[in-house]
Amino acid sequence: MSMSKPEDILNRIYDQALPEPADLEQALSWDKPQELERLFNFADTVRKEYCGDGIIPRGIIEFSNFCDKECSYCGLNKNNRKLGRYRMKAEEVLKSAGHLFSCGIRTVVLQSGEDPGSDVSWLAEMIKQIKSQFALSITLCVGERPFQDYRRWKDAGADRYLLKIETSDKELYRQMHPGMSFEQRIGCLDALRESGYQVGSGNIVGLPGQSRESLARDILFFKQNNFDMIGIGPFIAHQETRLAGQPKGQALLTLKVLALARIATRNAHLPATTALGSLGEDYRQEGLKCGANVLMPNFTPLPYRKLYEIYPDKKCVNEPVGACNFCMEQMAKQINRFIDYTKGDSLKFKGVTLNV
Ligand code: 5AD
Ligand code: FES
């Protein structure tokens, strides 16, 4: 199999109900310009066929940076005493939602740390308020919760939920998430699906100790679970974490994972993540050219935005609110694409079911 031509490998990854880990691993090892060009062009063709040329914007509001967890990579981890913590008021969240709505965006992502003080009723009320005032789809990204909370928020009107697996490698997962359980995370993903959400997941590329095989298995995990959206971003070390000083995930490796996820999953929504824009250079446009079809502009009010420091030098931290919209338009235009101002529901409902 290792004698296969890039074209054959890519065709197999595209065609097979469950691609071979060895094929994915091989493709992840490519670094010759011709191989990379074949990979990225193939992914771009699949993106065009299944998702079209529209780039769907999802406006993000990071409404609280309190967190109860100790993820080894994340600057919001509870042991970071240097970080000023905030929790936005309901009126502030509503105002931000109104703002992104007035920019034409039709999905709001409500994200926070795993804030023990953010109670289930508060968020349920928030969801109802947003839904009654604006024609917005609501995506929640607030971590692991009791399953009844997921149902409560779904009943309140939430449409989608993002819960990244971060790594599908159990041993690496354990190292990265002290006090957490891989099985419980899978349980949450299943419960979200059963509660009727469109479910997003994703991983971090370049975690210390992560192998190529492990990344290949992440891609298989995405395909097997038929996720509606998959966020793929590079690891960026934060100084107030256990992983301080570790090298960043490489942009190129992240782009390869993104491209292969596009080829394997065909029609999942794949964002060009903010982390991909935060490596010193902005690689989001590259991401959009090799599989991505979503952007996530930041609508957190400025004073809070710099406190949502998951990793350092996060893109857009000093941009005035709304600047991101202009920036997205520019980015799309430069690559002959357009911003698709619709809700951007899952494409998995449209008959192309790849579940195996
Ligand atoms: N580098 C890259 N991505 C990170 N995330 C958290 N910390 C880091 C980091 N240091 C990502 C996780 C999480 C998302 C909100 O941010 O994937 O799910
Ligand atoms: Fe935020 Fe460009 S997307 S400034």
d(CA 125, CA 274): 28
Confidence of residue 355 (pLDDT cuts 50, 70, 90): very low
pLDDT of residue 118: 83
Mutate which of 103, 318, 319, 325 to test ligand 2's pocket (most atoms within 8 Å of Cβ)? 319
Nearest-CA residue for ligand 1 atom 15 is 310
Does ligand 1 lie within 6 Å of residue 218's CB atom?
A: no
Confidence of residue 317 (pLDDT cuts 50, 70, 90): confident
Ligand 1 atom nearest residue 236's Cα: 1
pLDDT of residue 326: 84
Task: Report the CATH fold assignment for 40-339.
Answer: TIM Barrel (3.20.20)
d(CA 137, CA 92): 18
Report, as an integer, the average pLDDT of 34-42.
98
Confidence of residue 3 (pLDDT cuts 50, 70, 90): low
Output the CA–CA distances (angstroms, integers) from residue 231 to 20, 104, 105, 204, in the order listed.
22, 23, 19, 8
Q: How far is the CA of 38 from the centre of ligand 1 (A)?
A: 29
Task: Identify the residue with better confidence: 354 or 142.
Answer: 142
d(CA 30, CA 28): 6
d(CA 292, CA 65): 27
The mean pLDDT of the chain is 95
Q: Residue 354 pLDDT more than 70?
A: no
Confidence of residue 353 (pLDDT cuts 50, 70, 90): very low
Cβ–Cβ contacts within 10 Å for residue 329, how many?
Answer: 14
d(CA 212, CA 228): 24
Report, as an integer, the average pLDDT of 112-138.
96
Q: What is the pLDDT of residues 241-272, one digit of tens each?
A: 999 999 999 999 999 999 999 999 999 999 99
Q: Residue 290, SS3?
A: coil
Nearest-CA residue for ligand 2 atom 4 is 324
pLDDT of residue 356: 38
pLDDT of residue 351: 44
Confidence of residue 26 (pLDDT cuts 50, 70, 90): very high
Percent of the chain past pLDDT 70, that is, above it, reads 96
Whole-prediction pTM value? 0.95
Q: Residue 128, SS3?
A: helix
Asked if 184 and 144 count as a contact pair (C-beta separation under 8 A), the reply is yes
Q: What is the pLDDT of residues 62-117, one digit of tens each?
A: 999 999 999 999 999 999 999 999 999 999 999 999 999 999 999 999 999 999 88
Mutate which of 58, 61, 73 to test ligand 1's pocket (most atoms within 8 Å of Cβ)? 73
Confidence of residue 138 (pLDDT cuts 50, 70, 90): very high
Task: Quote the strand ranges of 235-308, DSSP E.
Answer: 294-295
Q: Ligand 2: residues within 6 Å at CB?
A: 297, 316, 319, 323-324, 327-328
Residue spans of the domains in the chain: they are 40-339
d(CA 103, CA 97): 10
